[in-house]
Chains A and B, each alone.
Chain A
Amino acid sequence: MKVTLRIQRYNPERDSEPYYQEFIVEAGDEKERILDLLLQVKWKYDGTLTFRRSCAHGVCGSDGMRINGKNRLACSTLLRDVNYKKPIVIEPLPSIPIVKDLIVDMSDFYKKYEAVKPYLINNSPPPEHERYQSNEDAEKLFESAKCILCGCCTTSCPSSWSDENYIGPAALLKAYRFVFDTRDEAADERLDVVDTPDGAWRCHTIFNCVEACPKEINITWHISKLKKRLAEREM
């Protein structure tokens, strides 16, 4: 089965503007991963095609990109998930600087993540054993702890398109992860960070992030709990 990939290319050493290039590749069946097709291009036709990848099964978060207009992981998107009768359009994540081909500059994304102090803060001396936590309390964190920092959500959010200072869903999700951890003592510090116009209040429940998240995290739900917590704190 022949499939056409229409890939956005950009090599800063050569090109002034990105352009599209089409490759026709051979796919076994419709369960083929888009990542494998990209690897096929790189290994067979054009070694200069550049993208990040590692685990190839959606757990490391390397290969977020825009496939047919929507952010996804190339390794978790199979041919049957897209219309492969027409050329499949593959572009880098939107609204974030392009380094080369499908590789984007994630440093801003990481800075936002770091801004919410993404680590447990608990200054009371720990007990000998584990800090006890009910399974219900633990499970409240699990969905948010699934995040693989792929960046698909933040770069799919219209609020972050119009102003890159918006802290974005990934960082807000991370804030939730620690604010609602019963073992954490620094909820207030983190709430201060997200209680700003660039923080949680810029989320307009657009749900693009949820649609894009490859780990199927309901990010908006988590942000809504944060907002509620912020509102309660104010009153």
Chain B
Amino acid sequence: MIKHQYDVVIVGAGGAGLRAALEIPEGFSCAVLSKVFPTRSHTGAAQGGIGASLGNEEEDSWEWHMFDTVKGSDYLGDQDAIEIMAKDAPRAIIELEHMGMPFSRTPEGKIAQRRFGGHTRPEDPSDPDSKRVAVKRSCYSADRTGHVMLHTLYENCLKQKVHFFSEFFVTDMIMSGKSCAGVVAMDLATSEVHVFHAKAVMLATGGYGRVFRITSNAHVGTGDGYSFIYNNGLPLQDMEFVQFHPTGLWKLGILISEAARGEGGILLNNKGERFMERYAPTVKDLAPRDMVSRAIITEIREGRGFKGSDGTSYVHLDVSHLPKEVLNDKLPEITGFARTYLGVEPTKEPIPVQPTAHYAMGGIPTTIDAEVTRDKKRTTVTGLYAAGEAACVSVHGSNRLGTNSLLDLIVFGRRGGKAIAKFIKDAEFAPLPEDAADRTIARIDAIMNSKGKEKVGALRTELQEKMMDKVGVFRNEKDLTEMTTEIMSLRERYKGVSIDDKGKIFNTDLMEAIELGNLIDTAEPIIHGALVRQESRGAHSREDFPNRDDKKWLKHTLIYKTDGKPKIDLKPVSITRFQPKERKY
């Protein structure tokens, strides 16, 4: 075991982690740990853009952005946090530009913007209550926005000489009494266990898409951060809200960004109908993701989808009517994906798509300064911070609008970094418990020495398939109850997992086994959250409770791990400017 001491340890080198690292002032030591090389983080997969009311192309205001976000969240988002994000967005974008991010430009040389689902402005700007029409708010760099943003942030970290520990797999968080004192990690190259003692720890570990079989998320999106929190007796918030992106490539789940529809692509069913006209008469194909995903599944269920060779169904996303320049200049990457992976020529034929598990609205509850909270009164955990997709501020409520996640990363990543910078100035190191690494070592030993019969791959596939079938776009009591027992039995069977690789060097077999445990830890609160929330709101759609129920459920759920059934608590939503209304597009 090797011990390190750093003022700050940041777990995760995606957009959130890197942005936070840039705030740590000179004179303090900061280590960024990531299980993959930083630029391999999943932020690099983001395509469409970052939302900000720059108004470079059309008149826009942060209040409209805030309203859209609140409405998009189905009023579950905390409005104080959303206000901060919408107000800060233009500054945050300009800052990225100053850092060197290569944006697409307008003819005047300003940052270019385009339309995106759920982002609107009043048709008549002087009348805030007039009909809402789509607005150009998403700042982009072709369809590689996340990629260039991640690289820009990493480059700036290099410039600032941030200390990286690449391919360090964090396995646990160290609690010292009521505060966080560091993390435990395994160096993948050698399987050695390292203990990082820190004044402040930030979890920026990204999402959990790999809980589901069809997902746009990377293989590394295994929800590790959620599991650290959950296993240390802290709560997870709003885990039932899983965003299914409507347009994943059929069978593969690879994302075809909303930008495709933002640029004019349309969805068609097997009758050739533009069915979104029926579900969202005003914004049509640019309705928020939850609605479009439900519409697609409904079309398929009612027999208007296409049947694939393997029995699964899809609808068509048609971009073939768009000018060639638009496809080549603004959507080169995603037309490439369709070509490469499905052999479809998007300039001529429609692309087969189906909803794909995409984003975690819920996560580690934090304050607006990214401090992790432990209860419904928002008591903070000393020395512990979280940002990015892993965290739940909550700005996305029950459904995130496209482009708001990258924004979330840079706004709250920075705020978290600033809060940490302030905190470490006069904080002391919390004492490091003697047994800090014991749990990790025991876990590794158990897996390495196990003679059980269960295989990681098979068990994980089972979990993913079941989650897809029963906790997918539509949910009901029967399926969810079944899943609560399912997950218990999976957890039991997980104890019998054994691996082939008994070596020390780059033991990815071991890593995957530990990740599977994290997936199970993450699936459990998703299932239980979905079961208790007896309403339909945003991405959470209960067939047995089809309506939104503000009286009972305009609340965040907090889930704690116990020995038996997880404990559930409810936390009020912050409502400042906009009172809940029916959500219609």
Contact = CB atoms under 8 A, between A and B. Distances in A.
A133 B457 CA distance: 49
Interface string B495-532: 00001110111111100000000000000000000000
A56 B216 CA distance: 9
B499 A135 contact: no
A120 B147 contact: no
B576 interface: no
Contacts of A131: 97-98
Contacts of A120: 99-100, 152, 155
A181 B148 CA distance: 14
Contacts of A149: 37, 39
Contacts of A126: 98
Nearest to A47: B500
A145 interface: yes
B44 A148 contact: yes
A132 B110 CA distance: 6
A56 B505 contact: no
Given A43-B457, A100-B506, A145-B148, A119 B106 contact: no
How big is chain A's contact interface, by range? 35 or more
Contacts of A46: 500
Closest 10 CB pairs of A and B: A43-B457, A120-B100, A47-B500, A132-B109, A119-B155, A135-B105, A48-B501, A47-B509, A119-B159, A130-B97
Interface in B90-147: 93-94, 97-100, 102-112, 141-142, 144, 147
Contacts, number: 162
Interface in A43-57: 43-44, 46-48, 50-57
B341 to A, nearest CB: 7
A132 B218 CA distance: 35
Interface string B66-105: 0000000000000000000000000001100111101111
Contact of B108 (A28, A114, A132): A132
Interface in A6-58: 11-14, 28, 31, 33, 39, 42-44, 46-48, 50-58
Interface of B: 36-37, 39-42, 44-45, 93-94, 97-100, 102-112, 141-142, 144, 147-148, 151-152, 155-156, 158-159, 189, 218-220, 252, 254, 310, 329, 333, 337, 340-343, 455-458, 499-501, 503-509
A38 to B, nearest CB: 11
Interface of A, helix, strand, loop or mixed by DSSP: loop
A206 interface: no
Contacts of B142: 142
Contacts of B455: 43, 47
A31 B333 CA distance: 18
Given A60-B36, A120-B100, A54 B505 contact: no
Contacts of B333: 59
A37 B406 CA distance: 32
B341 A142 contact: no
A58 B252 CA distance: 13
B98 A138 contact: no
Contacts of B341: 31, 33, 57, 78
A94 interface: no
A98 B506 CA distance: 12
13 contacts: A50-B501, A55-B219, A57-B45, A60-B39, A78-B341, A99-B505, A122-B98, A128-B94, A130-B93, A132-B110, A138-B103, A142-B141, A183-B100
Contact of B45 (A12, A59, A114): A59
Given A43-B456, A119-B100, A135-B112, A55 B509 contact: no
A100 to B, nearest CB: 5
A86 interface: no
Specify which of B39, B40, B141, B500 lies most central, judged by the most chain A CB atoms within 10 Å of its CB.
B40
Given A60-B45, A149-B37, 13 more contacts: A11-B505, A12-B505, A13-B504, A31-B342, A47-B456, A54-B40, A103-B506, A118-B155, A120-B99, A133-B109, A135-B104, A139-B329, A142-B141
A50 B189 CA distance: 11
Specify which of A47, A58, A184 lies most central, judged by the most chain B CB atoms within 10 Å of its CB.
A47
Nearest to B504: A13
Contacts of B189: 99
A141 interface: yes
A229 interface: no
B100 A50 contact: no
Contacts of A62: 36-37, 40
Given A47-B500, A60-B44, A53 B219 contact: yes
Nearest to A33: B341
Interface in A172-198: 178, 181, 183-184
